[in-house]
A = this chain, B = another copy of it.
């Protein structure tokens, strides 16, 4: 059995395919065997390893980007930028590890007079054990083999087993080979990094007792299934799934009046970016009734080019979903881009329009994510009508508002509702850009993630792979270095 990638621009196979994994038990053994040594490495060793991975990835861009282009259909310029983003992400985690804040070390001396009496206690965060990472299709670098889940887990000191995405197996194999060479060159045990090909092998890995946590980026259906697998193990494990997201965006009447042209071009650019295959694509745009942007939107959408979707399954689901939307009694198909080529899995941008009344009457039907270059305009009649309609929209990664200085719209109420529905609130921008930084949050209420308490992008995403351990009255020389009085790692030790 092989995992075969196809060029979505032509439908032709890319290479001969990658053999499905047949030695899963030995990969799991290696990950489990690597854990004790890897977790004990000082921060500098892991930081150097992450930096080495970043350097090697940058150096291999010329070799990897053409593979990625062939298997994803994404343009070479975009993928080159994605490599830079991915190596920057690895370097951010090198910094996170070096700074050591993430260990949340707390040192408490004894207090015999406390209620109840307190012995000396020292707490920090330890890695949970080997982590399984399900790679995504839509970012073949940034959310795949050496993407954010892998970078943050390695930073934490957790060996990583990647389940390769079936849409870019050749790129995954090449990236994994690079990672394994870097691990060897860094003097780390080989089980620090491994890769699994094949859907059944991925599920087997998730069920294996050696795997202690799982990260996933993909569809709501797939994520819900794997969440069930993780929780029905004899020993349930944490599952961090980033699933579908509709990402509502709201424009106030004042913003329409002030910035019509910029809003139209920004919105169409955002929902068609990467052929609409961003998890932060604004899928719903709330405009005030009588906005008058219809002609400009139609023109902009008509001018937007068709693009290839990542694979034939996504293309089928996109067309099926849009057919349902087009035949919905409360929806008008209001704009389309030029027709897509018939070979491969191309899709044309599409725009639909509905009202808050129709949305509230059928929220499941009208707020479902359509993965691809499509969006739905929702016309509202006032602030109360808008707020009520937003209450019917499911949880998202992002929620956006466009407003003006001195806007008479009730913005505090609007931001509170949006903050309840999403993990990131964007003001006068578009949500498709996701910075990789300390204050980024890429996570939100169900169904955008399975666990809204965590982010899958940015420095704090490392918290997913850690668990606290306290040491009570343990002599200094037996404590982990991070908790010793001499603080040999030089990390922040909080003394409350």
Interface size on A, residues (CB 8 A): 78
When chains A and B are docked, how far (Å) is the Cα of A209 from the Cα of B77? 44
Interface contact A126-B468, CB-CB below 8 Å = no
Binds B, one of A143-151, A355-363, A437-445: A437-445
A85 at the interface (CB under 8 A from B): yes
Interface contact B439-A107, CB-CB below 8 Å = yes
A323 at the interface (CB under 8 A from B): no
A228 at the interface (CB under 8 A from B): yes
Type the 1/0 row for A455-470, where 1 means its CB is closer than 8 Å to any CB of B: 1000110011011111
Checking B118, B416, B424, B450 against A437 with a beta-carbon cut-off of 8 angstroms, the contacting residue is B118
CB distance from A442 to the nearest CB of B (A): 8
Known: A123-B440, A123-B441. A424 touches B470 (CB 8 A): yes
Residue of B nearest to A142 (CB): B116
CB distance from A128 to the nearest CB of B (A): 7
Segment 412-446 of A: residues with Cβ below 8 Å from B = 412, 415-416, 419, 422-429, 433-441, 443, 445-446
A190 at the interface (CB under 8 A from B): no
CB distance from A84 to the nearest CB of B (A): 5
* Residues in B whose Cβ lies below 8 Å from that of A428: 473
A453 at the interface (CB under 8 A from B): yes
* Residues in B whose Cβ lies below 8 Å from that of A115: 84-85, 88, 436
User: A residues touching B (Cβ–Cβ < 8 Å)?
Assistant: 36, 81, 84-85, 88, 104, 106-108, 111, 114-119, 121-123, 126, 128, 227-228, 231, 235-238, 395, 411-412, 415-416, 419, 422-429, 433-441, 443, 445-447, 450-455, 459-460, 463-464, 466-475, 478, 494, 496
